[in-house]
Chain A
Amino acid sequence: MTSVREWIYSGRHAVGERWHNAPRWMRWAVIAAVIVFFYALPNREFYQWLGPIPTTGSNFGQVLFTISIYVLLAVGLNIVVGFAGLLDLGYFGFFAVGAYTVAVLTSPSSDLKTLWPWLLALPVALVLTMISGVMLGTPTLRLRGDYLAIVTLGFAEMIRVAATSSEFLKGQRGFNQIPHPPGSYSDGKPIFGVLDPRPYYWLVLTLIILVVIGVRNLNRSRVGRAWISIREDEDAAQLMGVPTFKFKLWAFASGAFIGGLAGALFAGKQNFVSSQNLELLNSIIILAAVILGGSGNIVGAIVGGGLVAYMIERFRGIEFFGVELYEYRFMFFGLVLVVMMIFRPQGLIPNRRRAAEFKDRRKEVIVGG
Chain B
Amino acid sequence: MTTLLEIEDVSLLYGRIKALHGISLTVNEGEIVALIGANGAGKSTTMRAISGIRPIASGRIVFNGEDISKLRADLRVRRGLCQAPEGRGIFPGMTVMENLDMGAYTRRDRAEVAKDLAKVLELFPRLAERRKQVGGTLSGGEQQMLAVGRALMSRPKLLLLDEPSMGLAPMLIQQIFSIITEINQQGTTILLVEQNAQQALARAHRAYVLETGRIVKEGSGADLLHDPAVKEAYLGVA
CA A353 – CA B102 in complex, angstroms?
Answer: 15
CA A229 – CA B106 in complex, angstroms?
Answer: 13
Cβ contact within 8 Å between A353 and B93:
yes
A359 at the interface (CB under 8 A from B): yes
Cβ of A306 to closest chain B Cβ, rounded Å: 25
Cβ contact within 8 Å between B102 and A225:
yes
Cβ contact within 8 Å between B91 and A239:
no
Cβ contact within 8 Å between B105 and A235:
no
Please tell me which one of the listed residues A233, A242, A354, A360 contacts residue B105 in the complex, with CB atoms under 8 A apart: A242
B219 at the interface (CB under 8 A from A): no
Query: With A225-B102, A241-B77 in contact, do A236 and B93 touch (Cβ < 8 Å)?
Result: no
A56 at the interface (CB under 8 A from B): no
Residue numbers in A under 8 Å from B136 (CB-CB)? 356-357, 359-360, 363
Restricting to A208-244, which residues have a CB under 8 Å from any CB of B? Answer: 222, 225-226, 228-229, 232-233, 235-244
Cβ of A243 to closest chain B Cβ, rounded Å: 5
B213 at the interface (CB under 8 A from A): no
Cβ of A13 to closest chain B Cβ, rounded Å: 16
Restricting to B46-76, which residues have a CB under 8 Å from any CB of A? Answer: 51-53, 72-75
Cβ contact within 8 Å between A226 and B94:
no
Cβ contact within 8 Å between A233 and B77:
no
CA A226 – CA B94 in complex, angstroms?
Answer: 12
Residue numbers in A under 8 Å from B206 (CB-CB)? none
Cβ of A356 to closest chain B Cβ, rounded Å: 4
Cβ of A303 to closest chain B Cβ, rounded Å: 21
Please tell me which one of the listed residues B85, B92, B98 contacts residue A239 in the complex, with CB atoms under 8 A apart: B85
A45 at the interface (CB under 8 A from B): no
Cβ contact within 8 Å between A241 and B105:
yes
B119 at the interface (CB under 8 A from A): no
Cβ contact within 8 Å between A241 and B94:
no
Residue numbers in B under 8 Å from A238 (CB-CB)? 52-53, 73-74
Cβ contact within 8 Å between A360 and B93:
yes
Residue-wise, chain A 243-256 has the 8 Å CB interface mask toward B (1 for contact) of 11000000000000
Cβ of B12 to closest chain A Cβ, rounded Å: 16
Cβ contact within 8 Å between A242 and B91:
no
Q: For B82, give the chain A residue with the smallest CB separation.
A: A239
Residue numbers in A under 8 Å from B83 (CB-CB)? 239
Query: With A243-B72, A356-B137 in contact, do A228 and B105 touch (Cβ < 8 Å)?
Result: no
Residue numbers in B under 8 Å from A239 (CB-CB)? 51, 53, 73, 77, 82-83, 85, 89, 151
A364 at the interface (CB under 8 A from B): yes
Restricting to A94-116, which residues have a CB under 8 Å from any CB of B? Answer: none
CA A352 – CA B74 in complex, angstroms?
Answer: 27
Q: For A364, give the chain B residue with the smallest CB separation.
A: B88
Residue numbers in B under 8 Å from A240 (CB-CB)? 77, 82, 102-103, 105-106, 150, 154
Given contacts A232-B91, A241-B82, 6 further A-B contacts (CB under 8 A): A225-B98, A228-B93, A352-B93, A354-B93, A356-B135, A356-B136
Identify the 3 closest CB pairs spanning chains A and B, nearest first: A353-B93, A241-B77, A360-B136
A residues bordering B, Cβ < 8 Å?
Answer: 222, 225-226, 228-229, 232-233, 235-244, 351-357, 359-360, 363-364
B residues bordering A, Cβ < 8 Å?
Answer: 51-53, 72-75, 77-78, 82-83, 85, 88-94, 98, 101-103, 105-106, 134-137, 150-151, 154
**8 A-B contact pairs sorted by A residue (CB < 8 Å):** A225-B102, A229-B94, A233-B89, A238-B53, A239-B151, A240-B103, A240-B150, A353-B93
